[in-house]
Amino acid sequence: MAKRVGVDKWLFGVVLLLVLFGLVMVFSASAVMAKSQFGSAYFFMVRQSIWAGVGLVAMVLLMRVDYRHYNNPRVVFPIVAVTMLLLMAVFAMRDSHNTHRWFRFGALSFQPSELATPALILFLAYFLQTRMHKMDDWRGTVLRAALPPLLFIGLILKEPDLGTAIVCAAVTMLMLYLAGLQVRYIGIALACASPVLYYMLFRVPWRRARMLAFVNPEADPRGTGFHILQSLIAVGTGGIRGLGLMEGRQKLFYLPEPHTDFIFANICEELGLIGAVLVITMFVIFGYRGLRAAFLSTDPFARFLAFGITTAVLIQAFFNMSVVVALLPTKGITLPFISFGGTSLFVTLACMGILLNVTREID
């Protein structure tokens, strides 16, 4: 029975703080570039603010909708099917830089792969809730649970978008492990995936160049190593207190994508170690409250739903920040709530509405 009158205020508050902080940092990171390219320093910030507003409205509305309504095959399977169709339909669109990732409608763009992770979380939560005692049945349970994620991952890799595919795979593996999947099955899955990952990383020329740049960025400082070196310069320049908000120098046409993939580098430069620790602390609080909701829930569907949503955000944040400080090779993964990107922000905030509704049931 429900005991909580309202949603988790800590979780709600930290999400709002992350979004507001993101708007400030998007403006700081993009103002000079936006003024140069579009004639207005507010170009990116205004667009992000609109998406943030729409996303927050969606979050508030969804946190009032009982999550049990999603525990229905008439909801789950149409969402999975529509997501699958969108992931296939994107290949009919004109490519951009040899990739098929976006539907473009004039100035607006939509990236269907952003829907893949929430759709997989919903499917796995629905499928696994009644099969936690059947995880030894690899054909009837494990294979059937893994089939939609494998199809999604295959289509996303074809776009190509290795970063999002890895996030989908990681979330799927963690949810299966939560359901009781034995470690040996995970080992078998990793062994089967290793040749594919090796091919994607070392046999695709531009990814191989990224891997070599990750190992030794100084070998080509103006080419493949440029991203990593400029990011590390930004992080190192910030020191403890940073150069001050709006005072960063690397965003002045040195640091690539300072308002999207490398916004954390701009945070480190302008706000220093203090700002970086503040961001990490907010994600830690988010992770703690989200996982708390998952593990305290007595409803298996709610547990899987909360766990999947929380871990998806944490995995993306970990990958993004690790790339910025050169712990991982460069990937096109944004920092949740903070990086510029309308589709990502809206979908993430909508998922927060579902997660917050789950917290209503936690004492």
Q: What is the pLDDT of residues 124-170, one digit of tens each?
A: 999 999 999 899 888 889 999 999 999 999 999 998 889 999 999 99
45-86 pLDDT tens trace: 999 999 999 999 999 999 999 999 999 999 999 999 999 999
Q: Give the CA angle between residues 56, 57, 63 to the nearest 5°.
A: 85
Q: Residue 76 region, left (φ>0) first, then alpha (ψ -120 to 50), else beta?
A: alpha
Rounded mean pLDDT of 253-268? 90
CA distance 181 to 167: 19
The alpha carbons of the chain give a radius of gyration, in whole angstroms, of 20
Per the CB < 8 A criterion, the answer to whether 201 and 208 are in contact is yes
Residue 320 or 213, more confident:
320
Instruction: Pick the closest to residue 141 from 178, 172, 181, 184 (CA basis).
Output: 181
Per the CB < 8 A criterion, the answer to whether 329 and 211 are in contact is yes
Average pLDDT of the residues of the chain: 91
- Which pLDDT score, from 0 to 100, does residue 2 have? 46
- Which pLDDT score, from 0 to 100, does residue 29 have? 94
CA distance 256 to 80: 34
Per cent of the chain over pLDDT 90 is: 71
